[in-house]
Amino acid sequence: MATFDILLPVKNGAAYLAEAIDSIRAQTVADWRLLVLDHGSTDHTLEIAQSRALIDPRIRIHCLPDARGLSGLLNAGLALCDAKYVVRHDADDIALPERLRHTLAGFAAHPEVVVVGGQLTNFDDQGRTLGQHPLPLEPGRIAAAMLFCNPVAHPTVAMRLDRLHALGARYGVEFGNGQPPRPVAEFENLVEDYFLFGQLALLGMVANVPQRLIRYRVHPGGVGRKKFVAQMAASQSVSRHLAARLSHMVGAETFDPTPFCNHGGILFDLGARTNYSEEFSALRAALLRMDAEPAQIQRELRYRSILVNRNRAALLARYALFRASHRPLMNEHTTVKLHLLGRKGPQAQLSPALAAA
C-alpha cells in the first residue's frame, strides 16, 4: 500500500497526458501509485498511458468507459484506492516536483482536516504564465468563502481516504448532515468538486498550503471555458445549498447568497436592483455563528460587504477601504474590476425576494 494513490481521469487527453504523467514520476516523494482512469478515449490516450506503465510499475490503467460523468469516474477511482491519501491530478496539468512533499506537510500542520489543497500557476498553450491570485489557507476562512465561490483548486487537492470513508463522502453525494449519504444528480457534474469540498469545509475539514503545487493549463478545451454558463448556474445552486445547510447548523435565519457570489470572478446579473443590505444582515448573522476564528470570518464579511450596494461609485469606495487593510485573494479584485466594466455574469435564477426592487 502506497502513501499516495493519485487519481488521473482522462478522456481523449493525448495532447498533454505524457507531460502530466512524467510530472508525477518526477516527484521528490516516491511512495505513490498512479491510477489512470480512462473514460472511453478514442485517441492515443491509452497507448501513451501504457507506454509509461511499461517503464514504471507504479502506474496502473483502468478503463471505465461506462462511468456516469466525472463524478462516477472519480468515485470508481476512489473505490480502487487503499492508500492513506488520495491525490487528484488532471491530464493537462503539470505537478511541480515538491507537490507531494508540501501536501504531507499540510496534513501534518492540519491534523483535523480531510482535504489539503494548494496554490497553482496558470499558464497557456504557449507556455506563458498567467495571473493567479492566492487562495486562502485557514479552514475557517475557507469555510466562510465557500458559500460564495470555490476557494479550493480541485487539481491541487489531496484527501484522507479513511476520513472520506467514515463520512460517506463522495463526489455528487450529500453527507454529514445526520442522514445517510445520498446522491444528488444536480451536483454530479460541472460542480462535483465544489459540492464535495463545500460540505467538508462547513465541517472545518479543508485547508490550503501556501506553496504552488501544480502548473494549471488554461486552454480552449477546458470545461470551464466550454460550459461556463452552465457551470455558473450549477455553482449558484451549490452556494444556495451550502447557505441553507449552514443556517440549519448554526440555528440562523436562512439567506440567499446569490448577490454576494462571485463564481468565475463575475457577479450574477440581478437586474435593476442595487442594494442588498437586508440580505447581508442575514448572511452576517449566520457567518458570525460559525465555529471559526473570528478574524477569519470578519475578513470574509468585509469583502462581501463591498457587494451590498451594486452602485458603481459605492462599490468602488468600499473596495478602496477594503484594500487599505487587506490583500485581495482568489478572484476578489477581478470581481470588482469586471463589475465596474459592466461585465456581469449570467442572469441569476431569482427568488421573489431577490427580484423585488
Distance CA 58, CA 183 (A): 32
Cell of 219: 486552454
Task: Decide which of 223, 240, 255 is a domain's last residue.
Answer: 223
Does residue 162 share a domain with residue 127? yes
Does residue 278 share a domain with residue 336? yes
Across 52-72, average pLDDT: 96
Q: Which amino acid is at 186?
A: E
Q: Which amino acid is at 203?
A: L
Does residue 280 share a domain with residue 185? no
Task: Check: CB of residue 199 under 8 Å from CB of residue 245.
Answer: yes
The structure's pTM equals 0.94
Does residue 217 share a domain with residue 72? yes
Task: Decide which of 223, 238, 254 is a domain's last residue.
Answer: 223
Give the DSSP letter of residue 136.
P
Across 116-145, average pLDDT: 90
Q: How confident is the model over 146-197, as pLDDT tens digits?
A: 999 999 999 999 999 999 999 999 999 999 888 899 999 888 888 999 999 9
Query: What DSSP element (H or E) covers 332?
Result: helix 332-340
Task: Decide which of 207, 223, 239 is a domain's last residue.
Answer: 223
Does residue 237 share a domain with residue 203? no
Query: What DSSP element (H or E) covers 125?
Result: none
How many of the other CB atoms lie within 10 Å of CB of 344? Answer: 15
Q: How confident is the model over 206-263, as pLDDT tens digits?
A: 999 999 999 999 866 655 566 888 899 999 999 999 999 999 999 999 999 999 999 9
Domain that holds residue 290: 230-355
Does residue 103 share a domain with residue 49? yes
Give me the pLDDT at residue 308, please. 95
Does residue 201 share a domain with residue 234? no
Which domain CATH number covers 17? 3.90.550.10
> Mean pLDDT for the chain?
93
* Total tally of structural domains belonging to the chain: 2
Q: Between the CA of residue 100 and those of 28, 117, 179, 259, what are the distances in Å?
A: 7, 11, 34, 38
Does residue 106 share a domain with residue 15? yes
Q: Between the CA of residue 239 and those of 56, 245, 254, what are the distances in Å?
A: 42, 10, 12
